[in-house]
Amino acid sequence: MSSRVPLPSGILWMVGVGAIALMVAQPWGAGSHPAIQRQRPAGLLESRAMRSHPPEVTREQEANHPTSEALGRRSFLPTPGKTSDRTSSTPDPSHEPDLAQAGPISAGRGATVASCSPSREICDGADNDCDGEVDEAEAAGCREVFFDDDADGFGASFAGCFCAPVERTAANALDCDDTRADVHPAATERCDGLLDNDCDGVADLCGALSHRELLPGELIVHRAQEHTPGLPDQLGEWFEVENRAARALDLMGLEVRDDRTDRFVIRRSLVLEPGARARLGRNGQRDTNGGVEVDYVYSDFILSDLGDTIELRSDGILIDRVVYDASGALLPDRP
């Protein structure tokens, strides 16, 4: 019968400590014990490596490229001196980018988030309607201006409505001749008998009467040539008027008409001294009108070969009226 000799308790304690030390020195892992040998997926190893040693992203890179990918990655970057919380997806506010400084965030390939809200364009130096232009024509608060081609400070035709001043324009349309800088409402009228220098509607004749000052009988029809032998009617028609007033007379503005629909108005200055005559005709060419000198050429007025009427009127007031028959004799007769 065998007997067991109990080992001293001290020896048992030493054996146990040794066994534990041996297990710590050689932990089970890949290739340790065949019964528990496992193959760890490569992806898991890389993932753990990434969490243990994340890629470094500088603040300058994130400020220049604040894309959604960069923002998402940045929220998981560990703060120096702190342990990264692998289970939390809440970004650290201290690491959020300043979007105001970073500029517009990319909304996809070739697109950005617009910062302009379209509204009506106004004259304030801003692009209110988001069309890429500032204070364009017709914006609210614009000023209407008129073309001033002669640069005399008085405009003529409408140019547009603008926020800023425009060259060669004026704030009014008072100029009666935008081709001459010496003709405008502030000019001094001159004794030229041709130009309305101050745009008051009347040229200064320096003592000559205008048609508005005529009295009946001071201007008369002296002679009418309704047909010149050998010439077509439209080439050889003319008539004469005579000034019987005591002063010089300007015929500009005088109306000539018949008793039907034919009429014309003398559109330029035509001055007659007392007792002088002027010839008015349809054709001013001497080689085709019978060889006469015509002082004023008119249109829209025909002298009928069968007889007609000639009236001289000033603002509707009858100054003279004659009738001629087929023979060409005037009634009343004018010596």
Last-in-domain residue among 157, 181, 204? 204
Taking the chain (335 residues) in runs of 10, the rounded mean pLDDT of each run is 52 52 47 42 45 53 50 45 47 50 43 67 94 94 96 94 95 94 89 78 73 92 84 85 92 92 91 93 88 92 88 94 81 66
| Same domain? 240 vs 280 | yes
**Which CATH number characterizes residue 320's domain?**
2.60.40.1260
43 located within any domain: no
| Confidence at residue 306, expressed as pLDDT on a 0 to 100 scale | 84
Q: Which domain holds residue 306?
A: 211-331
| Same domain? 242 vs 166 | no
Last-in-domain residue among 150, 170, 204? 204
266 located within any domain: yes
CA-nearest of 236, 224, 208, 209 to 321 is 224
Tokens 């007889």 -> residue? 307
118 located within any domain: no
| Same domain? 290 vs 221 | yes
% helix, strand, coil for the chain, step of 5: 15, 20, 65
| Confidence at residue 15, expressed as pLDDT on a 0 to 100 scale | 52
| Confidence at residue 119, expressed as pLDDT on a 0 to 100 scale | 92
Q: How many residues does the chain have?
A: 335
pTM over 0.85: no
| Same domain? 180 vs 235 | no
| Same domain? 182 vs 253 | no
Residue at 61: amino acid letter:
Q
Total domain count, the chain: 2
Last-in-domain residue among 167, 187, 204? 204
CA geometry: angle 240, 244, 247, nearest 5 deg: 120
